[in-house]
Every structure is written in structure tokens, then in C-alpha cells.
Structure 1
Amino acid sequence: MVPRVAYRVKMKLPLFLLVNALSAAAYWQIPLSSESTDSQWAPHRPISRVAVIGAGPAGLQAAAKLVEHNFTVRLFDRAPSPGGNWFYTDETPVREPYPDTPINETAYIPGDLPATHYYKEGEEGISLEDRWKEHWQPRPLWDNLHTNSPAVITELPDVPYTPDTPWVLSNHVIQRHVRAYASFHNLNSNDYPTLSTSPPVTSYSTRVEKLEKIESTHTWRVTVRKLERLPETKEIKAQWWTEEFDGVIIATGPYVSPHVPNIEGIVDWSKVTEAGQYSIYHSQSYRRPERYQNKTILIVGASVSASEIARDIEPYAERIIASVRPHKGGPGGLPLSQLRSFLRFPNGTEFVPEIAHFAPLAENDKGIREGSIHLVNGTVVSGIDEVILATGYIHSNTFLPNFTTDGQPTDLHWTGHWIPDPTLAYTNVRPWTIGRYQSYAFAKVWEGTARLPTQKQMREDYDNGKYHFRGLFGSGPAEALFRQYVAWLNNESLIHGGRFVEPWPLESREVFVYYSDSQWVKGSINLSNFTEFEKLPASAWQSGTAAWDAYVFNDDKW
């Protein structure tokens, strides 16, 4: 059993913390006392052993905070190193399926576990290189990618950037930053436990294949597969095994499987090559712009990847065409996040409507330049050398039990806990900003120094659209969520013990407002986005109309 953390604060409580705590108590309709009621959620057994799935900025923070609170933690990631989507490599993923792989497709698991198998070159018609890349799935980063958020809101705690770090960060800078955080907390790929008697925390190159609840023991069983390359024998060693946990945190993020739109003729075009390279492919494989010298490129989509790749290849390409779907809200109804991306296309970009179908091609090895692409307005585009599908990703975690809709988690409380069983939690906020609050919340709830509302209250809030976030990294006014976390966490620490947390620094808000004016759309962020929490309707929480930190990743809106 995890010992209760009891940091009783003997100093005078700062006024803003006391006001926040009183506000939280009023909202939850709970007395300022240490007594709990039977109607509030409590686990069937003490939570001491926790699995964290995903070692990106969110999962690393969750694992670090749980270790700090004396939980036994296992951190799994399919990649060979930490970083999540910020782990850059020149390796490109295996080719995306045409059409999309069904989100409920399950992985192969041997009948008797644990099990070991040594894969040889060409076994099952798969090369060792493709088998390795399929397992860990190289991330959709390109060499010159820079973040579209300032450093002040793209920073993990404990390892601050130097004062002279530029606002706009290279993906390589962010990768080093995340790895520094992992090393600081002894969570890097080559880190061993501090004590030789301690169990290992991290397991990289390890993919979770299945997650199931064992009702008889009230535990979660995790089935994993770990791959190891053996250069001496030119084989890949695969190991499968299971481990059981009292709690599980899903920190895999939204970028799981590339999405290929269901356009007539796209499957046939996907087979076409020229000089051994495919002529149509997903943006996840884009790395460098030099190959586009003097070519005509069609980019499908108008979100972050589309506009940023267009900017990267613009000095090399002869012609850039972007196919853009109309927004459901009509002209003028474009969300700020998508408008910002749209405005970042190079000046010479030619915009065309949505694609109706790809006309049949005579040959599969002569490229697509002679092919015809028919648009919904009846016009035809031809002379295209390559097509880049910047069409987003599917939220498909095939290892999860069947409590998702379209691959997205449902029934999530705003703290990230799954309402039917809060021993399962998701990192459903932006990790750079709210992640530190959410990680602390996971630890406090599971050690017993913070209480969730009753399941009835959580369900009512979710059903009524209050604090209802759609999918991972859901939208919602960030400042409101900051304030809610601060109020709730400090109220629970006041009653049950624990460290107090502070609101997001005012100077960080000011820097972000200035950045958004200069880099996005002037006037898009203002003080009302930060202060008018009480006036926001439930629809604002769902649509993200005031969500300043939901503007960073939105490729699913291609």
C-alpha cells in the first residue's frame, strides 16, 4: 500500500490559494473537513503499482510524478528512446495502408505467455527493417520542423530553456529538451534504477498489445511485445509477456495511425512508383525538401502539416498546389487554429477544391504526371509529380478494451480519469502546460490525498457537456482548466495534505498573447480568453473557441 503523503503546511496559506480552495469546496459541495463520504469514489484495492503507456512529454511527467509519490511504476514505449512525437529520426514509417486499417484490428499474441521468437530476414514476407519500423513507428517529424507555439508554453518543468532560447523552437531542440527531462528523472532509455534492488521503471522498444481488466482481482493486465535487434545473427528477438497493475495511464497521444481519405481511385494510385519511389504517400514520411527540386506537388489538406511542409519545399518545388476541403461552418466560419495554418501557406500556393476522384492510370511504374485528378467543381488537375496526403491521423489504439468510439476515448472526466473506473486514466490535456497539474492529480487521487466527485456528478457533468473534452488532447479554455486544477488540487491538499500548486505565471500569458499577435492572427488572443471562465457556455468547452493551447496540433481537421 502506498503511504499517504502528509505534507501539512504550517505557514499561513496565501490568500489566492485559500480563495481557490473555498471556491472548489463550494463547487463540489463538500465540507472543508478530512471526512469522506461513501458516495465518493474509492478503489477496490490500494493502488501501488501503475503502468504508464507512452513516453512522450505527457507520459514522462506522469511517470516522474508517480515515482515521486512512491508508486511502483512501469513506463512502456514502443520507440527505442523517449520523446513521443518529438523523437526525430531519419527513419520513415512503413507505408501507410490504402485504405485505412480498421481501428479494431488486433495484434498477434502467442497462445502461451511468456513467449520468445527470433524473426529472420523475409519471414512472413516482411523484411527485418520493415518489421522493426512497424513495431516502433518512426514519428511524423521532418528535419526542419519548428513548433508553432512559443517556448514559454512548450516547456517541461525541472529543465528550463536557457534565457537566450528563441521563441520558435526546432524539433531538435525540443527533442533534446524532452530527453533532458527524462534523464533528470531517471527515465531515459539507458537509465537504470537508482538502487540495484529497485525494479526497472522503463521498458523501451516495448509495445502494448492488449489491456484488459481482471474483475476477480480488480487489476489491469497489460500484454506487451518487446523487440531487440541482434546484429550478430541478423535477427530480431521478440518477447511477449504480461504484467498486472492497480492503475493504468494512457499517454499515447493523438498521432497513432495515419489517415488516408476514402477517395475513388486512390488505392490504384497508391501503387504507382517512379524510379522506385511511390508517387503518393502520407505526410508522416516527409523528411527533407531536396527531393522536390523542380517538381509540381499536390498537397491534400490545409492544416498544420500541409502548410508547414509547403513552406519547407517552397524554395525547391516548381509549383505547389493545395487541395482544401470547405469548412462545415462555411467561409468565415474557419476556426482560428485552421485559419492560422491556412495563412501560413507560401504566397505562390495555388488552392483548388476537394478531390472527387483519381482517374485510372495506364501504367504503375511511370509516375503520375500523365494522370488526371478530378475535383468536385468539375475541373481537372494534371501534371502532378507527387501527392502528399496531409490528411491527419486516426486515434486508433488497438490494445484498448471496447470503450471507445471511432478510436477516441469516451466518458473521461476533466481530470483525465475514466468515469466508469477511475483506476484507468488518460493524459487528455496539453502536456507542456496543464500536464504538470494533471500528473499531480493522478498521483493524489490514487494515493488518497485527493477526491474525485461522485460518479453521478462526473457523469452529469460529462453528459451536460461541462468539462467534456472530445478525445485525446481535447479542446477547452486552457485558463479555465488551469484554474479548475489549481482550485481543486489546493483544496484537496488543504484537507488531506500535499503540496500546493500555483496558477500559470502571468508573464507567460503575456508572452503568449504577444506571440499570437505577431505569429498568428492579431487580436486572436486577449484577456477575455483568460479571465471570463464563468461566462463561457458549455459549447465553448466543446468547440474550443477560447482554447489557446488547443491550437498546436490539429491535423485531424485536414
Structure 2
Amino acid sequence: MNASTRLLILVTAALSVAAQQTPFAAPNQNGSPQWTVFHHPIKRVAVIGAGPAGLQAAAKLVEHNFSVRLFDRAPSPGGNWFYTDETPVREPYPDRPIDQGADVPGELPATRYYKEQEEGVSLEDRWKEHWQPRPVWDNLHTNSPKVITELPDVPYSADKPWVLSNHDIQRHVRAYASFHNLNANDYPTSSSAQPVTSYSTRVEKLEKLNDTQTWRLTLRKLERLPETGQIKAQWWTEEFDAIVAATGPYASPHVPNIAGIVDWSKVKDAGQYSVYHSQSYRRPERFQNKTILIVGASVSASEIARDIDPYAHRIIASIRPHDNLHPFQLRSLKRFPDTTEFVPEIAHFEPLAAHDRGIKDGVIRLINGTELHGIDEVIFATGYIRSNVFSMPDSGNTSTSDGEPENLHWTGHNISDPTLAYTNVRPWTIGKYQSYAFAKIWEGTAHLPTQKQMQEDYDNGKYRFRGLFGTKQSEGESLFRQYVAWLNNESLENGGRFVETWPIQNREVFVYYSNLEWVEGYSTLGNFTEFETLPASEWPSGKRDAAAWDAIVYDDQAW
């Protein structure tokens, strides 16, 4: 079973757009639908994922007096910024299709105790497969300034450098979780209240119940028992009126299907694999005096190369040719150490004589006919598979081939069933607005258009913001303005707090940073998210319209 896709959705109740129109319709004075109204009051909400997006959603829902449960498969909050020295279970070679199966006992609740090597799986791998350690290394720093990498309520100190280490961000996210009583060791404010958080807990199944129009989550929690040398697994179900999916679009590491790669992936040297994905990289010391081949040219490739450069004997980077480089891609290329040797793509890996003596004697043939010899280790910095593991084909919510959710209103709500919502914006900047919107919509102090109107707007491309799943850079500022105007209008009519636009001083810092760190002329104070300040012909790539906020932070398969 694919270790990186165990947070799964299996929708067993057949839903259709037509069947959902009636419960969500609200007539106006003429008897026509006016806005979306839910089947019953929304009281109990589940948030899946305790990264920067999920934490904000949970905090805002608690603030608005919802009964909230926050689930995360990791033992602590942070999402991708939860660093540990633990590495994920080894990636498959080659990539396997997204696995939609879940091992759930026939009768729930259920409890099971696992021993070492039970079913041929070590306790360590069972634990890591469950929570999936994040692909963050010890010396990772952001490539975005702190003014656009900050959660509300817990500002960084004024003297904190604008380029933050992953440890700074991890502390920052933990501080936000603790501030809102959402950390792993936080308890309910009263003895009668149910705990909000459930860490080390994975959502195995999500289904909509037709008779009650509620959601049922099947959950699995793992607990390590050092005193007995076992792992305790518990399965149970809980029901909710609404769901926030805050798990992000990246489900599992991508390994290209190159001839010979499966054979090479089996090779070990001194007990360690010689070929592996960058998700397992943690520290540079092991690369002392080694020759390293890095496959890829995106963020993780260049930053890992910089990290190991003081130790490695030789660094080689295999990259694809790109005709039109986006500024973020150009930045990554420029950040490779000066000593890096660039070579073209790999054609195939020649067969090896043995699997227990490393790959130093192996031959790697490139597409231009040349060969590489003497490689000690190969790091595949080839990105991650984008997958919407909460796609709901029966309810009209599907995913594109690259995992991008479809049929979403710009607020993140599933048009066919707006009791399911996604955190599909950049959490550091627009997350606080979207979280407030979730709370206002479900409490009735803000309204969504009718489903018919939302669908028409979506089909016509109106107000279709993709957020983390692929929004154009030019839509970033528009989405800021749209959220502020819409939320304040709804509060004016229905009650609630007003929100403010992004502070001008933050814009000034961002402008300075982007021009210094990305591309000179990238932005101005008047327009800090567009590429209009430079004509396309003057971009180093000759192209200016392919940006996405997530390109600042993540790698995808465009390596």
C-alpha cells in the first residue's frame, strides 16, 4: 500500500448535483432561490490537517463557537513544517498509482496491538507509514520573506531575519497552535468538553450519510507503547455537519520512470540506499568526499546542492532544458553552487554487477550519449505527485490529471455540497480570510450564492481562484481584495467583524525582497503581485504569466 497516500477518501453514498439542490435552496420573495441554505444548522465541524491552513481554520471555527475536531496523522502540528530526523518510508520505484484502499476492521470501534515484524513490517516502518515524516531537512530556509510567511496573533520579533529557517517556522506554527489551545499537549478548557485535537490520527474514510446529510469519518490513531515494545492502533467513527480538508495538494514523492532505475534503487552501501528521493534528505555530513548526482533543478535540488557543497567532492546536476523559465525556476538555477557540473537528462542506468557494493562502479548513460562514472549517490529532487485525495466524483467534485480540485467556489467550498470545503489559498497570506469565511458561511453571517449561480460562475471562469492548487500570480492581489470586500459586505449586512487589507509596510518589504532575491523589477509598491512592471520581452525567460504561489514553496513534477 502506498505509504504516502493513506489519508484517503471513499465516498460510499451516491450524491448528485440535482439531489443536493433542494436541501440547499433558499427562496426569495418571488419564490426563487436567493442563496445557499444548508439542510440543517452547522454545529459540528471536522478539520483534516494541522498545518498552517488547518490550524487557522480550526482556531477560527472554535472562536465562532462551533464544536471542532482537528485531526492530523503527525504527532504534532506544523504540516510540512514539522521537522524531525525521522525519514519517510522509502518511496516506490517506479511510481505507483494513488492507492484508494484502507485497512479498516469490519466492526468499529476496534483496537489492535502490533508487535515487531508482525505481517513482515517493523514497528518503525509501521509508525512512519502512518504519520509520514515531512520532506524537510535540517538546514532548510524559506525562499519567501517572513512578511508573507507569518500567521496572525504570533508575529515574529522585529529583529528576526527575513529569510527564516525551518526551525523558526516550526516554532512559529507551534506558537500559533499553543496560542489557540491546539497543540499536541493542550487539553480542553473544561473537563466536560471534548478535546479539539487528535494527533497521530489518520482519516481512513469519509462518507456522506443521505438520511442525516452529515459526514462520517472513519479514523485510525496509532500510539507507541515503549513499555511493551508494541504499537497500539485504534479505529472509530465520528460524525460532523461540515468538513474542512486542509491537507494540501502533494500526496507522494515522484520518481521518474527511467530505464534501469528499479535495479539501481535496490543497491545499498554500508546499509544505506545509494539511490533515493530528496524527501529523505536531512543533513550534509554523510556526503563528505563523495560524488553526488542530483536529478532535478527546482527548489529542493538547488538548496540541497548548496547544503552539501562544503562536504561533497563533486556535485553533478542532471536537468531538463527549459525554454521559458519562470523567475522562481530561474532563481533555483542561479542558486546552485558555482562548482556544480550540469549535464542533460538520464537516458538509462546500465545494469549493475551486484547490489551490495554501492553504485560507484555503475554507468549512467545520458541522452546525449555521454556517460557518468564514479557516482556515489543519486538524489532524485524530482518533486511530488499532486493529488486531491478528497475528490468526490459522485458529488460533482473531481480532480484534474495533476490533482487540482475542480468544481470549487472561489471560497473553497464544494459547489455540489458546500458542507465540504478546501483550504485552497496560500495559508500565510489569505488563510485568515478564508478561515473567517468558513465560520461566517456556516454560522449564517455570510452567504454563498445558490448552487446554480456558483456553478454558472465556475463554468464561465468567473471568480475561479485556484489558490495553492495553481492560481496565477496575477490573481493573488485580486483575491485579497475580493475577500476583504466580500467579508466586510457580509458583516455589514449580517453582523460580524470587519477585516483589513494587507498592511502597506508589508508590501514595502515584499517589494524590496522580491527585487533583490528573485528578479530586479519583479514588483513595485503599486502592484506587488503582477508581472506588469516588466514587459514579457525583458524577462530572462521571455515569459511572465505562468506563476503560482505554490511555486514559491513547493516542488512539483515540473523538475
TM-score w.r.t. length of structure 2: 0.88
522, 525, 548: which one pairs with 1:524? 522
Q: Which amino acid aligns with 2:415?
A: I
Measure the CA separation in 1 of the matches of 2:295 and 2:195: 44
**1:372 aligned to 2:363?**
yes
- Aligned CA RMSD, in angstroms, stands at 2.3
**Equivalent position SS for 1:374:** strand
CA offset at residue 549 of structure 1? 6.9
Identity of aligned residues (%): 76
The runs of 5 or more residues in structure 1 that have no matched partner are 1-32, 536-542
CA offset at residue 438 of structure 1? 0.5
**Equivalent position SS for 1:316:** coil
Measure the CA separation in 2 of the matches of 1:465 and 1:338: 28
516 and 419 in structure 1: CA distance in 2 versus 1, 3 angstrom threshold: same
Measure the CA separation in 2 of the matches of 1:36 and 1:445: 22
**Aligned positions of 1:47-58 closer than 5 A:** 47-58=42-53
381 and 528 in structure 1: CA distance in 2 versus 1, 3 angstrom threshold: farther
277 and 221 in structure 1: CA distance in 2 versus 1, 3 angstrom threshold: same
The runs of 5 or more residues in structure 2 that have no matched partner are 1-27, 534-543
466, 471, 475: which one pairs with 2:471? 475
43 and 316 in structure 1: CA distance in 2 versus 1, 3 angstrom threshold: same
**1:210 aligned to 2:205?**
yes
Q: Which residue of 1 aligns with 2:157?
A: 162
Q: Which residue of 2 aligns with 1:20?
A: none
**Aligned positions of 1:270-419 closer than 5 A:** 270-327=265-322, 330=323, 333-396=324-387, 398=389, 401-402=392-393, 403-406=398-401, 407-419=403-415
CA offset at residue 553 of structure 1? 2.3
CA offset at residue 431 of structure 1? 0.6
324 and 467 in structure 1: CA distance in 2 versus 1, 3 angstrom threshold: farther
The answer as to whether partners of 1:255 and 1:394 remain within 8 angstroms in 2 is yes
Measure the CA separation in 2 of the matches of 1:105 and 1:63: 27
Q: Which amino acid aligns with 2:371?
A: V
The answer as to whether partners of 1:430 and 1:473 remain within 8 angstroms in 2 is no
The answer as to whether partners of 1:220 and 1:246 remain within 8 angstroms in 2 is yes
Deviations 1:180-231 (A, max 9, x none): 0000000000111111111110000001111111122111111110000111
Measure the CA separation in 2 of the matches of 1:366 and 1:36: 77
CA offset at residue 295 of structure 1? 0.9
CA offset at residue 554 of structure 1? 3.5
Measure the CA separation in 2 of the matches of 1:36 and 1:179: 49
Q: Which residue of 1 aligns with 2:8?
A: none
Deviations 1:160-188 (A, max 9, x none): 11111111111111101100000000000
Q: Which moved more, 1:469-478 or 1:314-323?
A: 469-478
Deviations 1:345-388 (A, max 9, x none): 11111111222221211111111112122222222222211111
CA offset at residue 34 of structure 1? 12
Alignment: residue pair count? 515
Q: Which residue of 2 aligns with 1:489?
A: 487
Q: Which amino acid aligns with 2:495?
A: G
CA offset at residue 534 of structure 1? 12
CA offset at residue 511 of structure 1? 0.4
The answer as to whether partners of 1:151 and 1:168 remain within 8 angstroms in 2 is yes
Q: Which amino acid aligns with 2:345?
A: E
TM-score w.r.t. length of structure 1: 0.88
**Equivalent position SS for 1:516:** helix
531 and 428 in structure 1: CA distance in 2 versus 1, 3 angstrom threshold: closer
Measure the CA separation in 2 of the matches of 1:529 and 1:107: 47
Q: Which residue of 2 aligns with 1:444?
A: 440
**Aligned positions of 1:166-185 closer than 5 A:** 166-185=161-180
**Equivalent position SS for 2:552:** coil
CA offset at residue 335 of structure 1? 1.4
**1:500 aligned to 2:498?**
yes
532 and 553 in structure 1: CA distance in 2 versus 1, 3 angstrom threshold: closer
The answer as to whether partners of 1:304 and 1:555 remain within 8 angstroms in 2 is no
Q: Which moved more, 1:545-554 or 1:381-390?
A: 545-554
**Equivalent position SS for 2:33:** coil
CA offset at residue 39 of structure 1? 4.1
CA offset at residue 38 of structure 1? 1.8
Measure the CA separation in 2 of the matches of 1:86 and 1:551: 15
110 and 246 in structure 1: CA distance in 2 versus 1, 3 angstrom threshold: same
Q: Which amino acid aligns with 2:420?
A: L
CA offset at residue 490 of structure 1? 0.8
The answer as to whether partners of 2:467 and 2:549 remain within 8 angstroms in 1 is no
286 and 395 in structure 1: CA distance in 2 versus 1, 3 angstrom threshold: same
**1:41 aligned to 2:36?**
yes
498, 512, 517: which one pairs with 1:514? 512
